[in-house]
A and B are shown apart, each in its own frame.
Chain A
Amino acid sequence: MSSAARFKPGWYRGFCTKNRSIKGIFPCSYVYVKPCKIENEGLFETAVPLEDPAVREVALVLREWNLIWKNAYVDRETYKFTILRKVMWELLDWRRQLLMGTLTQDQTKELKLRITSKIDWGNRYNVCLVSK
């Protein structure tokens, strides 16, 4: 939620990554530091988390689909709502498996393929329905 922090003992200072003008300080005990890479160091630096790109991709896709999914609920598109929900839970679970770090190379490769094809399917499905 927040990034780019410099600290005093016990506190971090940071801002909201979505809106840099929202700033604040945070007790260190409330903060979990993720490994990340600083790009464009200086006033306009950005921190890119050092996660597997697939993990980040899934997160982005899920947030995007969440809006579509909720619209499907309001519009009572029951089939779309149900199937998207199933696929989203699948993606959540797969992402978690990737993050757990207990998969072998082979399994990781295979899982990423599955994730990619699922995302492709979902995007086609969503676009196709949106354009309808």
Chain B
Amino acid sequence: MNSKQPKMPALKDANIVKIAVEMDDQVPQLIEFNQKQPLAATILELCNAWDLPDASLYALQFSENNYQNYITEKNRNEIKNGSVLKLTFSPSKTAHDILHKLNTGTNEEKVQALQKLSKLSIDTTFAHEFISKQGLQLIVSMIEGGKCKGAVLAYSLVSFVELMYHGIVFWDILECPFIQTVASYVNNQSADAQDHKIVQASLSILESIVLNGNAKKYELVEKEVTFPNLVAHLHNSNPVVQQNAMALINALFLKADLAKRRAVSATLCSKQVRNIILSNIIQPSTEQIGAEMAHQLYVLQTLSLSLLEQRMNSKMDPQDQDAHEKIKELRKIAFETDSNAGNDSAVRRQLGVFAKDYKKLGFKCDINPAQDFMETPPGMLALDCMVYFARTHTESYTKVVLENSCRADEHECPFGRTSVELVRLLCEILRIGEQPSEQATTFHPMFFTHDHPFYEFYCICIVLLNKTWKEMRATIEDFVKVFSVVREQITRALACQPTSMEKFKAKLQLLTYSEITNLWQQERTTREEWESHAQPIVELKEIIMPEILDLIQRNRIGYLVEGTRFTKYSPRGQRVKDKFWYVCLSPNHKVFHYGDCDEKSVPTIEELPNKLDVVDIKALITGKDCPHMRDKGRKTTPQLAFSLSLDSVEMTTLDFVAPDDQVYGYWTDGINALLGNKMTSKETENDLDTLLSMEIKLRLLDAEGIIIPQEPPPVPADPPNYDFCHDMK
């Protein structure tokens, strides 16, 4: 703030906020709250005003609907002018009272105390106070016994979740009996009358134990709750139960070792479980899946896909017989028909024949295709995909291979090479091998519809790649370009979150090469449109403008020199039939010549008897202001009429009616140009636009493809000196 002006009160006010304080059964107080004064002092003042004896028992609280934290020295600066606070019992006193009720109260009182506890525990200040009074232990012991039921149990569990949320106590303190008890609430499917709150909280507690506890705790949870039980919760009609069950499943998945993960994945990817997820979570309302559930589905998808990471990152081991067999199988499926299988295979086993076939298969290294799988990523995953394609979509596979191996020109699309690159691209698009991110919510419903979603995804994309390759009439030199198009096709189709593999395929069908080119073109046009408003371009336009206006002027004056035949009108604005007159400007632009003429011939300047000096023109009058247009109501055309008002005795105006808008525009422009006025016609506007846009384009030819910023970048400080040395080596 600027201190020049004597605004002392305002400065002083910075520490003082005007607020209201309420208390149950009391008249609210309006006070000036001093941020410099200790809270205890303010509370004392408030207590005195309300006649409350022991001020240390009280504390201030925010009293907004969703924000009721206690006010401490740390968060007091959140108090703003107009805040409404509440004076209430201090955290310590409240915690003490709740504990007392829990130890000695009736069931009714316990429920009330726990309900209050579950709300207050959201506040860190209170949680600290309660935990320091051994409150958490009490809650744990209440839950642990398994004696609590109904509301007491529900609120105990919710309170526990909230208290633990603050990270004051480590999850490892929890012992086996507690975990078993909580797990039993998750496993207990029978009670359909079971309180949702109990299941929600139990699931959430177990998830936190798995994520934050040590390996032993994980094992315990894993032993106690079984996947079928968790999956059963996905049927639940309560979305929070579904969500928490999903989160626990993901937590167990995440913390499992690789061997276990495969088992978990096998369970989760089984048709039965997938169908439950699909029919209970994804399909009911794909658009309305909450952000948290979407995140959980994303995590599940990421974890499932991450199982491919190992294959993706392993090179082919030359000793790997299984892999060699797979390569042979690719060859066999493509080139050995049933009839010639077996009998002549001994002959064909000659290396030369094989190499020829491997070349046809489009491997980079046709002598030893194993070399093609040495690069990671995608490593062995590429081979797995290719074999899956050959085995399960044999017809498509042979079609793709044969189509390309029989071409005589350079336009064949090498199946091997492109597959390896495609699998690498797919891994990149799906971020295989990366840990699930904390926020991401993008999942692909179609991956929940298939036993081998990634392989299937590849099969669709390799067919697409071949189609695009053909559409582009690509050669091997265009490898990179084809992939840039294919990447665009895949990411755009995925972005629509198709609900099935078929829909994904259908979407890709629409995104042809020419469609992608169109989209690119559109994006470029939009960017250019946007750039045309960029400050540097606007400034350039202003610089060029006078030059362009000069061209338009010369065009218009040239038009006047050429001259125009006008229809004759009576002084009252009536058209005279079959009578014409001709007007033109002298080549030196100083005199208008005019005179009568016939309908066809163009008179020479000498044939025009009348003259009018440009210097004598006082002004240009247009439309209804023209003398020959003043008679209203007649069949006149004032929008085409114009007059020259003159500085002469014998004649005051020379009146015209143009045959059409263009002639009207050109003539008024020309006269305005002669008089040194601005040209205002629509024709000028159009011409300016035509000429200027071309000029700008041509001036910026060398900047094609460079992104022009909306605002010029800042100019750095001047260099310290101007010794720009010419250092030559």
**Contact partner of A105 among B478, B524, B694, B727, CB < 8 A?**
B478
The answer to whether A92 touches B520, judged by C-beta atoms less than 8 angstroms apart, is no
The answer to whether A88 touches B694, judged by C-beta atoms less than 8 angstroms apart, is yes
CB distance from B528 to the nearest CB of A (A): 10
Per the 8 Å Cβ criterion, residues 26-81 of A in contact with B are: 27-30, 32, 34, 41-42, 59, 62-63, 66, 69-70, 73-76
Q: Does A22 have its Cβ within 8 Å of any Cβ on chain B? A: no
**Contact partner of A102 among B520, B702, B704, B715, CB < 8 A?**
B520
Q: Is the interface of B mostly helix, strand, loop or mixed?
A: helix
- In angstroms, Cα B157 to Cα A28, docked, is 63
- In angstroms, Cα B478 to Cα A28, docked, is 35
The answer to whether B698 touches A75, judged by C-beta atoms less than 8 angstroms apart, is no
Known: A41-B728, A106-B472. 7 other contacts (CB 8 A): A11-B719, A25-B724, A30-B713, A73-B687, A75-B558, A104-B475, A105-B477
Query: Which chain A residues lie closer than 8 Å to B719 at the CB level?
Result: 8-11, 25
Q: Does B633 have its Cβ within 8 Å of any Cβ on chain A? A: no
Q: Does A13 have its Cβ within 8 Å of any Cβ on chain B? A: yes
**Contact partner of B558 among A42, A63, A74, CB < 8 A?**
A74
The 6 closest A-B CB pairs, nearest first, are A104-B478, A29-B713, A13-B724, A10-B716, A74-B554, A59-B701
Q: Does A85 have its Cβ within 8 Å of any Cβ on chain B? A: yes
CB distance from B651 to the nearest CB of A (A): 30
Please judge, given known A-B contacts A30-B712, A102-B481, whether A70 and B551 are in contact too, CB under 8 Å.
Answer: yes
Q: Does B559 have its Cβ within 8 Å of any Cβ on chain A? A: yes
**Residue on A with the closest CB to B705?**
A99
The answer to whether A29 touches B722, judged by C-beta atoms less than 8 angstroms apart, is no
- In angstroms, Cα B713 to Cα A27, docked, is 9
Q: Please list 14 pairs of residues, one from A and one from B, whose beta carbons are closer than 8 Å in the complex, sorted by A's number.
A: A1-B702, A6-B724, A62-B698, A62-B701, A66-B694, A66-B698, A70-B551, A73-B555, A74-B551, A100-B705, A101-B481, A102-B485, A103-B481, A107-B472
**Contact partner of A29 among B472, B551, B698, B714, CB < 8 A?**
B714
CB distance from B706 to the nearest CB of A (A): 5
Q: Does A20 have its Cβ within 8 Å of any Cβ on chain B? A: no
The answer to whether A85 touches B694, judged by C-beta atoms less than 8 angstroms apart, is yes
**Residue on A with the closest CB to B517?**
A102
Q: Does B474 have its Cβ within 8 Å of any Cβ on chain A? A: yes
Query: Which chain A residues lie closer than 8 Å to B703 at the CB level?
Result: 32
Query: Which chain B residues lie closer than 8 Å to A29 at the CB level?
Result: 713-716
Q: Does A96 have its Cβ within 8 Å of any Cβ on chain B? A: yes
CB distance from A88 to the nearest CB of B (A): 7
CB distance from B587 to the nearest CB of A (A): 14
Query: Which chain B residues lie closer than 8 Å to A32 at the CB level?
Result: 703, 706
**Contact partner of A73 among B478, B485, B691, B725, CB < 8 A?**
B691
- In angstroms, Cα B713 to Cα A96, docked, is 25
Q: Does B697 have its Cβ within 8 Å of any Cβ on chain A? A: yes
**Contact partner of B728 among A28, A42, A89, CB < 8 A?**
A42
Q: Does B635 have its Cβ within 8 Å of any Cβ on chain A? A: no
Query: Which chain A residues lie closer than 8 Å to B694 at the CB level?
Result: 66, 69, 85, 88-89
**Residue on B with the closest CB to A29?**
B713
Query: Which chain A residues lie closer than 8 Å to B562 at the CB level?
Result: 76
Per-residue 0/1 for B625-636: is the Cβ within 8 Å of any A Cβ (1 yes, 0 no)? 000000000000
The answer to whether B555 touches A6, judged by C-beta atoms less than 8 angstroms apart, is no
Query: Which chain B residues lie closer than 8 Å to A66 at the CB level?
Result: 694-695, 698
The answer to whether A85 touches B704, judged by C-beta atoms less than 8 angstroms apart, is no
CB distance from A98 to the nearest CB of B (A): 10
- Interface size for A (C-beta < 8 A) is 42
The answer to whether A76 touches B698, judged by C-beta atoms less than 8 angstroms apart, is no
Query: Which chain B residues lie closer than 8 Å to A107 at the CB level?
Result: 472-473
The answer to whether B555 touches A76, judged by C-beta atoms less than 8 angstroms apart, is yes
The answer to whether A95 touches B704, judged by C-beta atoms less than 8 angstroms apart, is yes
**Contact partner of B690 among A41, A85, A103, CB < 8 A?**
A85
CB distance from A102 to the nearest CB of B (A): 6
CB distance from A56 to the nearest CB of B (A): 10
Per the 8 Å Cβ criterion, residues 466-487 of B in contact with A are: 472-475, 477-478, 481-482, 484-485
CB distance from B266 to the nearest CB of A (A): 43
- In angstroms, Cα B690 to Cα A81, docked, is 11
The answer to whether B477 touches A8, judged by C-beta atoms less than 8 angstroms apart, is no
The answer to whether B704 touches A96, judged by C-beta atoms less than 8 angstroms apart, is yes
- Which interface residue of B517, B698, B703 has the most chain A CB atoms within 10 A? B698
**Residue on A with the closest CB to B411?**
A106
Per-residue 0/1 for B226-248: is the Cβ within 8 Å of any A Cβ (1 yes, 0 no)? 00000000000000000000000
CB distance from B331 to the nearest CB of A (A): 29
CB distance from B701 to the nearest CB of A (A): 5
Per the 8 Å Cβ criterion, residues 670-729 of B in contact with A are: 687, 690-691, 694-695, 697-698, 701-706, 712-717, 719-720, 722, 724-728
CB distance from B467 to the nearest CB of A (A): 15
**Residue on A with the closest CB to B484?**
A102
- In angstroms, Cα B513 to Cα A107, docked, is 13
The answer to whether B704 touches A106, judged by C-beta atoms less than 8 angstroms apart, is no
**Residue on B with the closest CB to A5?**
B724
- In angstroms, Cα B712 to Cα A7, docked, is 21
Per the 8 Å Cβ criterion, residues 436-487 of B in contact with A are: 472-475, 477-478, 481-482, 484-485
- In angstroms, Cα B485 to Cα A107, docked, is 15
Query: Which chain B residues lie closer than 8 Å to A11 at the CB level?
Result: 716, 719, 724
CB distance from B56 to the nearest CB of A (A): 62
Per the 8 Å Cβ criterion, residues 540-554 of B in contact with A are: 551, 554
CB distance from A27 to the nearest CB of B (A): 5
CB distance from A15 to the nearest CB of B (A): 12
- In angstroms, Cα B485 to Cα A58, docked, is 27
CB distance from A77 to the nearest CB of B (A): 11
**Contact partner of A27 among B695, B702, B715, CB < 8 A?**
B715
The answer to whether B697 touches A92, judged by C-beta atoms less than 8 angstroms apart, is yes
- In angstroms, Cα B725 to Cα A89, docked, is 43
**Residue on A with the closest CB to B724?**
A13
The answer to whether B520 touches A25, judged by C-beta atoms less than 8 angstroms apart, is no
**Residue on A with the closest CB to B548?**
A70
Query: Which chain A residues lie closer than 8 Å to B555 at the CB level?
Result: 73-74, 76
Query: Which chain B residues lie closer than 8 Å to A42 at the CB level?
Result: 728
CB distance from B487 to the nearest CB of A (A): 12
**Residue on A with the closest CB to B726?**
A6
CB distance from A23 to the nearest CB of B (A): 10
**Residue on A with the closest CB to B553?**
A74
- In angstroms, Cα B697 to Cα A100, docked, is 16
Please judge, given known A-B contacts A30-B713, A104-B481, A105-B477, whether A76 and B559 are in contact too, CB under 8 Å.
Answer: yes
Please judge, given known A-B contacts A25-B719, A85-B694, whether A104 and B473 are in contact too, CB under 8 Å.
Answer: yes
The answer to whether A6 touches B481, judged by C-beta atoms less than 8 angstroms apart, is no
The answer to whether B558 touches A27, judged by C-beta atoms less than 8 angstroms apart, is no
CB distance from A37 to the nearest CB of B (A): 16
CB distance from A104 to the nearest CB of B (A): 4
**Residue on A with the closest CB to B717?**
A10
Query: Which chain B residues lie closer than 8 Å to A7 at the CB level?
Result: 724
- In angstroms, Cα B481 to Cα A100, docked, is 11
Query: Which chain A residues lie closer than 8 Å to B520 at the CB level?
Result: 100, 102
- In angstroms, Cα B224 to Cα A67, docked, is 85
CB distance from A3 to the nearest CB of B (A): 11
- In angstroms, Cα B697 to Cα A32, docked, is 18
CB distance from B707 to the nearest CB of A (A): 9
- In angstroms, Cα B702 to Cα A27, docked, is 19
Query: Which chain B residues lie closer than 8 Å to A102 at the CB level?
Result: 481, 484-485, 517, 520
The answer to whether A27 touches B716, judged by C-beta atoms less than 8 angstroms apart, is yes
